[in-house]
Structure 1
Amino acid sequence: FEAYRPEGYIDAVATAGGTGAVHIAIANYSEVGDDVLASDWRWGIYGSLCQEIGRRLTTFALLDESGAFNIESFSSAVADVLRKQDSLLIILNTPANNPTGFALSDQDWAEVLQVCRFHEKQGKRISILVDIAYIAYAGEKNEVRTFMKQFSNLPPHLFIMAAFSMSKGYTLYGQRAGALVGVSSSEDVIKEFTELGRYSARTSWSNVNRAAMTLLTTIRGDAALTKRLDEERMEFFRIIQQRASLFTEEAAQCGLRVIPYHAGFFISIPAANPQAVCEALQDELVFAAPLALGVRLGVCSVPLPKIKGLAAKIKKAVDK
């Protein structure tokens, strides 16, 4: 939370990466047969995680026609699901959304919580999982966390969780360490969260990588090491931003439509036939990922010189 730690009871469960955190949240805060809500532009594995344990993923439109967060679609989807079930788990991947680089603003968050408060007052139970896997590359660490203060003193039946990944935040890919963090105004809710999480972790993967956990506590306990890590991450952030800025500038110049990008590893391009676009790009030695609604480009892995001219190549493939 850095400078924006919310008021309330907070605890965490170590998980097998950010994916493990998402798994525990789905397993413990939805029922078999339930709908779990996420945005249409999303990480595809959310659906697999739901399906594997007997849940269904349903979606709302992330963006409206102006490219802003679609609060109307979100509100409508929440209401639709809660007409048939008494509780709902919502997954919001922000900031630095995978696959788009989009982020909810503080005002967007205020409206999301207003919708959820309304249904909580009607006797429904709502849990929000904030997937912050890429937050370390969304900007200055405090500026990108201002929304977290809004999680203070929420009603007991409106529960907030965050899925954290050491892979990104501590530049530690492959070590499979993360955490599921819970925030509540109720001590009883947090105690239950911790007990459920530990049980689920124990029965899913036992314990996570001890070396990774030791590294995290060592760095966080040393101001000099924390400062060095912050500086390293910000340098990576600046490199990615340079690439993304060049790509979005050239996309605007050649008329390529791009999902509004704020920060993060990925940029997405809407396409009617994503698979065909990706196959056409392979002829240009450009390798992108096909999604349900478009194509995902990993600016995290493309050097700046190779970004130049890339938008035009993608525009040609999309038109074809």
Structure 2
Amino acid sequence: MKAKQILAQQDANHDYEVTTGNAKFLNNAARVLFGSNSSILDSGKVTSVQAISGTGSIHLGALFLSKTAAFNGKKAYVGTPAWGNYVPLFNLVGLEVVTYKHYDASTGKVDFDSVLEATKKADEGSIFVLQGCCHNPSGADFSPSQWEKLAVAMKAKKLFPLFDMAYQGLGASLDEDAYGLRLFANKGFELLACQSFSKNFGLYGERVGVLHAVSEEKDVASKVYERLRCLIRWEFSSSPAYGSRLVDIVLSDDKLRQDWQTELATIQKRLADNRKALHAELVDKRKAQGNWSSILSSNGLFCFLPLNPQQCERLAAEFHIHMLQNGRINVAGLNQSNLGHVASALVKVTGSPSSPRL
């Protein structure tokens, strides 16, 4: 609200923004993602351009890769279950997608053996889509040690990481949620990072996103910038200005930035508290059958409950609790007034052992 008031007082015009986005906004955005004191950013090896939120930045990144000779014939690897847009986004630009198992329903955690096996089977130079935090749809994230092992495995096969950073700050702190990305960047990977401010700023409809490319050399970064500038110009000319101006106002002011980070920490804590409350209501209070550990082992907005499609249908029909038929819930939808109702309904529909679909 404060940023909106400041922007209104500035009486900014409605002219087009620079094709690649306002340089000050892009610098601020990059320092949120890579760290305020990032040596990578100071090296000049990072190219940042504004895109149409997270989806648009992934599309732009995929398009860029498809037009780059080094990726001719390369495939994009996506861990499943996955955000439903990955496959069509890559197929749209002519890149074939290979899927592998990311989530283990029996543990509610990452199936890390399957992830490592995928890196072994992939051809050199293949693209790996990696969600940096708050995995959508499972909430199952890599641990720091798993990120370390994955970096070693991908480096050995010369695999190319494309990071989807849609939920930074909702799993833990801004820095903790960027651990994997910063690790890969500091280990010398060339990579793409797709950043969205839809969730952590609540600017869903303003479509505020940035695509960052990390190159081996500074002169390569300048060529990457020119290529991305052309792709943006040819496809959508420039990105929306209003939302990026709001983000820039907040990130440029120490007080407003601290207020934002405090609010973000409050949101993150609420999500974590909702998980603890639902798990306690089910396991401790109601002695629910089944394994509900996925509630606590996941991060961010989403997690999978151990439900089959029939149980999900019954929840909707009898108790007016609606979710995807694979059992994915949005933890943010829980509150003190509906927690008991949700837990009671879950106990009623899981009276017999469930058969997870995933």
Shorter-chain TM-score category? Answer: 0.7 to 0.9
Aligned partner of 2:83 among 43, 51, 59: 43
- Structure 1 residue 80 corresponds to structure 2 residue 80: no
Task: Give secondary structure in 1 for the equivalent of 2:122.
Answer: helix
Which stretch shows the higher mean deviation, 192-201 or 253-262?
Answer: 253-262
2: distance between equivalents of 1:270 and 1:189? 48
1:226-269 CA-partner distances (Å, limit 9, x unpaired) = 01111111222222222222123344441344536342111112
Structure 2 unaligned regions, length at least 5: 1-33
RMSD: 2.5
Q: Which amino acid aligns with 1:286?
A: I
Offset at residue 285 of structure 1 (A) = 0.3
Change in 2 beyond 3 A, CA 1:153/1:312: same
Task: Give secondary structure in 2 for the equivalent of 1:38.
Answer: strand
Q: Give TM-score scaled by structure 2 length.
A: 0.76
Aligned partner of 1:97 among 114, 135, 139: 135
2: distance between equivalents of 1:39 and 1:315? 31
Q: Which amino acid aligns with 1:176?
A: R
Which stretch shows the higher mean deviation, 64-73 or 15-24?
Answer: 64-73
Count matched residues: 305
2: distance between equivalents of 1:247 and 1:111? 33
Larger radius of gyration: 2
Report sequence identity in percent.
22
1: distance between equivalents of 2:265 and 2:59? 29
Which stretch shows the higher mean deviation, 144-153 or 34-43?
Answer: 144-153
Which stretch shows the higher mean deviation, 176-185 or 52-61?
Answer: 52-61
The match for 1:254 is 288
Offset at residue 278 of structure 1 (A) = 3.1
2: distance between equivalents of 1:315 and 1:267? 17
Change in 2 beyond 3 A, CA 1:27/1:234: same
Structure 1 unaligned regions, length at least 5: 121-125
2: distance between equivalents of 1:228 and 1:266? 25
**1:36–1:58 CA contact under 8 A, matched in 2:** yes
**1:41–1:99 CA contact under 8 A, matched in 2:** yes
1: distance between equivalents of 2:132 and 2:344? 28
Q: Give TM-score scaled by structure 1 length.
A: 0.85
2: distance between equivalents of 1:75 and 1:239? 33
2: distance between equivalents of 1:132 and 1:251? 32
Q: Which amino acid aligns with 1:72?
A: D
Offset at residue 308 of structure 1 (A) = 2.6
2: distance between equivalents of 1:201 and 1:311? 48
1: distance between equivalents of 2:39 and 2:100? 27
1: distance between equivalents of 2:80 and 2:178? 24
Task: Give secondary structure in 2 for the equivalent of 1:278.
Answer: helix
Map 1:27-66 to 2 at 5 A: 27-30=63-66, 34-63=74-103, 66=107
Aligned partner of 1:109 among 125, 147, 159: 147
The match for 1:305 is 337
Task: Give secondary structure in 2 for the equivalent of 1:171.
Answer: coil
The match for 1:150 is 183
Change in 2 beyond 3 A, CA 1:36/1:174: same
